[in-house]
Structures are given as C-alpha cells and as structure tokens.
Amino acid sequence: MAAAETSWTNEAIISDALGRAADLAIGSTGDGWRLSRWRQFVGSYQLPALPDPTFVVHIAGKPRVKVWERDGWSETSSIPGCATILPAGQPSGWLVDGELDVVTLSISAAELRGTPANDQFQRMRFAFADPLGAALTRQILGELYAPQTAERQVYVTALAGALKAHMVRGPQGAAATTIPTSDFAAYRLHHIMNRVLAHPEADHSLEVMATEAGLTPSHFCRVFKRATGVSPHQYVMKARLNRAQELLAGSDLTIAQVSEALGFTSQSHFTRAFRGYAGQTPSTWRATKAH
C-alpha cells in the first residue's frame, strides 16, 4: 500500500482528506500542472504531505481560515484575495470557520528541481496578499464555467500558463524598492492589501488608497473588487473584525477598548458590524470562546 500512496497526486490526497472530489479540475500532463477548485465548509482538516508544491488562492467564502502552527492555530487568517504556498512534503492542518472557496495550482516537483524558483517552495508562506494571482484565477474560472469552444480552451490554457508563471516567479520575491510604481496597478494593490492586513486599525480611507494606487477612487474600487471579490471598505472591515476576534479571544480588553483600538467610531458601531460578521454580539462571541 505504501508504494501505491506515493503515486497519488496532490488532488487525490486532498480529495481523500476532505472526503469529496474537487468541484472542477483541469491539468496539463506535458507541462506538469493541475488546477482544481474546492468548496468546503466549517471544520478542521488534516492534510498529509503532498508530493508537489501547491499554490492556494482564496477566492471567496468567509475570511476565517487558519493553519496549524507549532502549538496552535495561526493568529493570521486567510481572506479572499490572499494566497498560500504549501511546499511538497509538509503535512498541514486547516481550520475553516465558515464556507471556504479556494483554487489550488500544483506544479510537478520534478519540473522545479534544480531551478532558482525551487528555493521559494521549501517553506510554507500563509495568507499573503496576491491580487494578480487572484485576478488570474477568477478569470480562469469565468472561462471554465462559460460554454466551451476550441478558442476558449486555448485561452484557458494560456491563462493557466500565466498563473503558473506567476506562481513560479513568486510575487513575494520582489522587494518593494524594485517594483515600478508607474506600472500595472496590481503591484501597488499588493502593498495596499498587505498594509491593511498588518494594520487594520489605521485610517484606510478610499481616497488615500486610490491615490497610492495611482487611480481615481471609482476606478480603484472597480480594480480592487475585481482582484479580491470585495470592495475596499469591505476588505478593511473584514480585516478589522478578524483582528477583533483575535483580541476578544486572546486578551482581557473590554469591548469598548477593542472597539477603540480598531478605529471604530463608537462601541455601538463596532457591535453592529461584529454581529453582522459573526452572527453574535462581541460579548456573546467572547463567551463562546471562553474555556
């Protein structure tokens, strides 16, 4: 049996761990890649080590996905628009607190071996902002769910090749100082999204974000939503509320202190937003997390 297991693909192992097949799957044997869409629901999942490195793009669902670290679930959560690199040979644990919708792109480890790109797939990188990867993934899905023609199949293959090249190049490998700020706005979106995730309490106004991206506010909203699936305001609010859950569960701050720390205009505003996000008031949610 051990010999048979080693011949399993990433997708077969993921399917076995989740107890269901991918919603959609395509691949190219000659080019050594496979792309699959997975929609899963609340629960914790143990994923055995995969034979090939995998690029995971979080495209929809609630932003409450965590991974198991050495001694507990990660403080950081993945939200739509984020990506994760899962290296070959590393088991992982995943906590899904709500509906999850992700796309995985796996590349043959043999194809990467001996190339400069191989180094970036030696460790896990969880939940980094990747608007370009998310935009390419959404475009691929849109084409796959449309009526199929020979021309569309060629286009999908080209898009998948672009996503593969994006994965191999590694958006996280370029230093901020080397990114040309006058080029494609996705690069600037990447830094805006990372800043929101790192400091959700800050005043991330639409005007400031649009100016940094070099776009008008209305154009910035359209570009941002196409890349992440949510508006800039929704993205900031989700990041704040996700941090609020961390503070409520892991600190002794009062509800008022959490509200103030995260930049809400009032405690009542915070309570309304939190109830809409988590389905409970902050105090009730905190009580359910108490041991």
Domains of the chain, start order: 2-131 (2.60.120.10), 174-291 (1.10.10.60)
The predicted pLDDT at position 7 comes to 64
Q: What tens-digit pLDDT sequence spans the chain (291 residues)?
A: 333 344 689 999 999 998 889 999 998 877 788 999 998 877 889 999 999 999 999 988 766 788 999 888 988 888 888 899 999 999 999 998 777 889 999 998 887 877 766 777 888 999 888 878 888 898 899 899 888 888 888 999 899 988 988 888 765 443 333 333 334 456 677 778 888 888 898 889 898 888 888 788 888 888 888 877 889 999 999 999 989 998 998 888 999 999 999 989 899 999 999 999 889 999 999 988 764
How many CB atoms are located within 10 Å of the residue 52 CB?
23
Count CB-CB contacts under 10 A for residue 130.
Answer: 30
Give the pLDDT score at 183: 41
- The whole-number pLDDT of residue 175 equals 38
Question: pTM here?
Answer: 0.60
User: What single letter denotes the amino acid at residue 213?
Assistant: A
Q: Which long-range contacts (CB under 8 A, 24 or more apart) does 286-291 make?
A: 286/248, 286/249, 289/248, 289/249
